[in-house]
Amino acid sequence: ALQNCRMRPSRKSMHVNHPKSTMGIWMKRNLDYMRIKRIHVGGILDPYESPCRQVHRWYRLRYVVYATYSTKFTRWTGVMTVKLLSSLASKPVVLGAISFIFLHGVTSTDFVAHHAVHLGEKYENITLETKEAERRRNERRRNESVRICGIRCVLPTPPCYAFNYRESDGSCQLVSNETSGLVESDGFIAYVQRLCLTEHPTIQNAEVSFEHWSGKFPAPPGGKVILRCQHPTGFSDGSQLHTAECASASPDTWWSSFKEGTISCSYRGKTLYKYPECRLTEKGREYIGKVSETESGKECLRWDSKDFGTPNDSLANVTFSEHFSNLDTWSHKNYCRNPYGKERPWCFIMDEGTEWEYCDIPMCTNEDPPECKVTQQGGEYIGRMNVSHSGFACKAWMEPWRRTITGNETFFLPAFPDYGETGESHNFCRNPDGDAAPWCVIKGEDLDKEYCDIPFCKVREVQGGSKGNVYPECRLTEKGKEYVGTKSVTETGKPCVDWEKNQYGMPWDFFNQEMGYSDHFIYADPTIHKNYCRNHALYREKPWCFVSEPDIEWEYCDIPLCHYLEPPECKLTPRGGEYVGRRNTTISGFRCQHWLSVYPHSHEKIKEYLSAFPDEIDGRHNFCRNPDNTAHGPWCYLKEFEHRWEYCDVPFCPRTEGERCDIRVSGECMSPLQCKKNTGGLAYIGTKNVTNSGNPCQLWMSILPNDISERDSFLARELFPDDLHPSHNFCRNPGNNPEGPWCFNGASRDLDWEFCDIEFC
């Protein structure tokens, strides 16, 4: 009822330190009226008197504004404290404090507001804490203390998200972390921007996705969390879906369709536990969830910290890392694992009397192993696939993957996630040697092993970012391997070091350390990437870069998710190494062979160039890519015997909407030059595409009708004066023929190439 009431504050109650300043003028101009959005009134209202008249009669608003001018920051700073004076109250009641910044000398205003929302509570994760030496006794000095605290919060770039203030001793605590919990604390008031710092309500075992935000805290107003239960009956209240939304009207408040703790994702009273956040076997060696504390609540140590030495029950002649899936310890961080075959997952702890403890990892509701992998290498996979990608039967794992110790039983190497739990006939796809994906030994023609068709598990859905996030200055996936933007500072503001310097040597998680350093980069050239954030590594969670501090070496970068996560069906550069589209047919219409398949065409591109792929590879991946920096763009092997490979129809991305460009040089659109300056015509960049005898020219990137894929001398990029693209069939002279430009015959194989009639300039 009071929502639309307007109240005119008294001019006498407005105090501005600099009344002639731009801030003072702004205050007088814009605060003539204040709209009351929410008010809680104590006592009894007269039902026969309008609510607005009651508000005017009972209450008046007073604005106390303090302003200071800082030459160091060249901007106005201050705090506005809004107080409600009531005849029913013995003293003014502070409703809220608003910290704000006014940029000096500009017409626009950068306004940062912090709202008092939690009385008797304070935020955790304190970034900075200060205290006033002397207790402020009078009202004005108290206001000055909260003003100083607010200024300290808004001066950093970006401003802190929240601050805690206690009037009794002037304690000021700033919170710059992206998420923070609340704890009870007498005397404190927590102030926060209009966003959500606290964690959203959850329902155990529910699948979580996000709408209107990426899931990264702090959550913006209107950011929604969507929870789904995979049980056929849905949640325990019968609903198939529940939501929680960061409230727009109330800072740091979640509006949800359920009360936390009263709803479960269960069936007949049994909680649903879904892999990978549970174990499929008693020992749980396949567990790769993210629990990082023991049964007694102790925090786990990182597996790569080396604080605990060599465990007593580690196997002889097997290195420490070889006990882990994917032969890696770093990616397992401090999560509970079972690398040595104990009774169940465990971890090392920092305790004088105990080195390690078990973790409370539940058994999965459905103990049938999923036919999918969670990681790129899939070392955790314990499914029952026992045929290779091309359909060859897998042979049982024997030496050297099985070993027999005298006086003991035969066992599999610990890199098998299910060693000791399968019979003699174990012939399922696994990855015991840290290869690119699960594989098996086969008996087929000239092959002895092949990868298996294991797709990625759908762990959680990734939601798009803000509307302003447009590729390539954002990432399309969580890991962001495709990111080729220009950000060059880390999350903490440290400048990135040029990739070319390679001052710390080959990164440990560049796949296949036998390859050269440059071969792990998109475009096979670290110089092109300058010092921009990238993610060529196997285990990093998102784009990162090296920094100049040897104790740290590297840090992650804050690269937002794109608003539209669908990859563009075009390339940004001539070689198109960044392309992550879904095209899986070539220019001539041939189907692409899956990258993990070695039939009908055997290759080792995955083993050699896995780091240079702009995305992760699973058994379903047969999309056009350019991992080895082939001259003219994305390509693929073919699912037919006669021809081995061909380029794909991936055009350049238009620089402007509706742009048509036939001639590009280094990616830039150029006007055609329809004549040659000399007989050889090496620099000719016209659009003639007919031979002397009138035959149409064949596309330079096509293998039909003449298969030119193996004629490297004609396809080398440096031999063309312009960039080739899928529709490029213009006369050129890549072989430096003295008689001038020519092209392959696009009409037949009888005469595979002819000269073109190009006029002199």
Pair 78, 23 in one domain: yes
Calculate the average pLDDT of the chain. 80
Pair 22, 114 in one domain: yes
Domain end position, chosen among 236, 271, 306: 271
Pair 244, 113 in one domain: no
Per-residue model confidence (pLDDT) at position 378? 95
Residue 90 has pLDDT above 60, yes or no: no
Residue 746 has pLDDT above 60, yes or no: yes
Per-residue model confidence (pLDDT) at position 111? 61
Pair 215, 144 in one domain: no
Alpha helices in 626-744 (DSSP H): 712-715
Indicate the number of domains in the chain.
3
Domain end position, chosen among 241, 271, 301: 271
Establish how many alpha carbons lie within 13 A of residue 151's alpha carbon, considering only the half-sphere containing its beta carbon.
18
Lowest pLDDT segment from 3-7, 299-303, 589-593, 691-695: 3-7
Pair 671, 724 in one domain: yes
* Residue 329, in any domain of the structure: no
The larger pLDDT score, comparing residue 253 to residue 27, is at 253
Pair 62, 188 in one domain: yes
SS (H, E, C) 101-153: EEECCCCCCCCCCCEEEEEEEEECCCCEEECCCCCCCCHHHHHHHHHHHHHHH
Q: Are 282 and 420 in contact (CB under 8 A)?
A: no
* CB count in 10 Å sphere of residue 661: 17
* Residue 322, in any domain of the structure: no
Q: Are 521 and 483 in contact (CB under 8 A)?
A: no
Q: Which amino acid is at 124?
A: E
602 φ, ψ (degrees, to nearest 5): -75, 140
Residue 190's H or E segment, with its range, is strand 182-192
Lowest pLDDT segment from 7-11, 266-270, 293-297: 7-11
Per-residue model confidence (pLDDT) at position 10? 35
Establish how many alpha carbons lie within 13 A of residue 542's alpha carbon, considering only the half-sphere containing its beta carbon.
15
* Rounded distance between C-alpha atoms, residue 260 and residue 204, angstroms: 10
Per-residue model confidence (pLDDT) at position 309? 64
Q: Which amino acid is at 236?
A: S
* Residue 302, in any domain of the structure: no
* Rounded distance between C-alpha atoms, residue 502 and residue 725, angstroms: 33
pLDDT in tens, 208-225: 888 888 888 899 999 999
* CB count in 10 Å sphere of residue 64: 18
Pair 105, 211 in one domain: no
Place of tokens 């080895």: 628
Residue 571 has pLDDT above 90, yes or no: yes
pLDDT in tens, 716-736: 888 999 999 999 999 999 988
Q: Are 557 and 487 in contact (CB under 8 A)?
A: yes
Q: Are 741 and 692 in contact (CB under 8 A)?
A: no
* Residue 481, in any domain of the structure: no
Q: Are 140 and 15 in contact (CB under 8 A)?
A: no
* Rounded distance between C-alpha atoms, residue 190 and residue 153, angstroms: 12
pLDDT in tens, 164-218: 998 888 889 988 878 888 888 888 999 998 899 999 999 887 888 888 888 888 9
Domain that holds residue 244: 207-271
Domain at 760, CATH number: 2.40.20.10
The larger pLDDT score, comparing residue 99 to residue 199, is at 199
Averaged over 371-398, what is the pLDDT? Answer: 92
Residue 96 has pLDDT above 60, yes or no: no
Distances (CA, A) of 260 to 112, 224, 256, 257, 703: 31, 16, 9, 9, 61
Chain Cα centroid distance, residue 347: 28
Q: Output the six-digit token pair for 32.
A: 């003539």
Pair 31, 115 in one domain: yes
* CB count in 10 Å sphere of residue 488: 16
* Residue 582, in any domain of the structure: no
Pair 144, 252 in one domain: no
Pair 18, 127 in one domain: yes
* Rounded distance between C-alpha atoms, residue 467 and residue 470, angstroms: 8
Long-range pairs of 567-570 with CB within 8 A, sequence gap ≥ 24? 567/471, 567/476, 567/482, 568/471, 568/653, 569/650, 570/650, 570/651, 570/652, 570/653, 570/654
Pair 26, 86 in one domain: yes
Q: Are 438 and 451 in contact (CB under 8 A)?
A: yes
Per-residue model confidence (pLDDT) at position 337? 96
Residue 70 has pLDDT above 50, yes or no: no
* Rounded distance between C-alpha atoms, residue 98 and residue 119, angstroms: 16
* Rounded distance between C-alpha atoms, residue 102 and residue 111, angstroms: 7
187 φ, ψ (degrees, to nearest 5): 90, -15
Q: Output the six-digit token pair for 437.
A: 């994906």
Q: Are 136 and 145 in contact (CB under 8 A)?
A: yes
The larger pLDDT score, comparing residue 253 to residue 419, is at 253
* Rounded distance between C-alpha atoms, residue 147 and residue 169, angstroms: 14
577 φ, ψ (degrees, to nearest 5): -65, -20
Identify which of 355, 376, 362, 378 has the alpha carbon closest to the alpha carbon of residue 308. 355
Max CA pair span of the chain = 104
The percent of residues above 90 in pLDDT, for the chain, comes to 50
Distances (CA, A) of 409 to 84, 421, 635: 81, 13, 49
Q: Are 266 and 234 in contact (CB under 8 A)?
A: no
* Residue 520, in any domain of the structure: no
In the three-class reduction of DSSP (H, G, I as helix; E, B as strand; rest coil), residue 210 is classed as strand
* Residue 398, in any domain of the structure: no
Q: Output the six-digit token pair for 196.
A: 């959500």
Chain Cα centroid distance, residue 653: 23
* Residue 606, in any domain of the structure: no
Pair 756, 686 in one domain: yes
Residue 358 has pLDDT above 80, yes or no: yes
Per-residue model confidence (pLDDT) at position 505? 92
